[in-house]
Structure 1
Amino acid sequence: MMKTNLERVYKMTFASVYPMYITKVEKKGRSKAELDTIIEWLTGFDSTTLQQLIDEQVTFEEFFKRATLNENVSLITGVICGVRIEEIEDPLMKQIRYLDKVVDELAKGKKMEKIMR
């Protein structure tokens, strides 16, 4: 991915993407509460903090700067958007793809215990 594309993704606000995550999981019969639970597992942000970050309009860059990633995050593997997560070298893009992957797994009906490795 070209640097300008990466920068564009990093500057996107979490608030602009979060509603898409909600729609994606709810379309598949999962709940916003389940989504918030896996985001908390990944980032350490409870629903109150998550709402504050949304209200602040933080970028993905700032979102992950403030996050305390789960120690088992390296167990998140596989392909997202045609790219193998384990092969992503850029640390921030890897973190964003971890989030995409767990949201994807939730939408695909994976059990919560399996998502939260």
Structure 2
Amino acid sequence: MKGLAIAFIDESRCVGCARCLAACPTDAIVGARNFTHTVIAARCIGCRLCLDPCPVDCIAMRPAPEELQPQTPEAKSARIAQIRRWVQAKRRRLAQEAQARRARLEAKKAICR
């Protein structure tokens, strides 16, 4: 992970479209639709998946602070394990949200019958 870069959002240019939120695999970007967003640097893995969805190009990659760059093999392994947990947590959350949407839709269909 040498030379790790993290996303930075220029909040003065962010229009709050929320497209970057869905693209981030670790939920490192926080904010709500129609409000500016920001990046939690410690959660950003530098994957750059948030760059393309941004319609106003307000996201740039910057070098990560030294304290966020693992220096030892053990620290790198721990960081990788943490990233896996974040990605799995997001996948679980998205699956739960999809299941809840399906349940709401089925309830509406049942009312209409």
Greater share of strand: 2
Larger radius of gyration: 2
Shorter-normalised TM-score: what interval? under 0.3
TM-score scaled by structure 1?
0.22
Structure with higher RCO (Cα < 8 A, 6+ apart): 1
Normalised to the residue count of structure 2, the TM-score between the two structures is 0.23
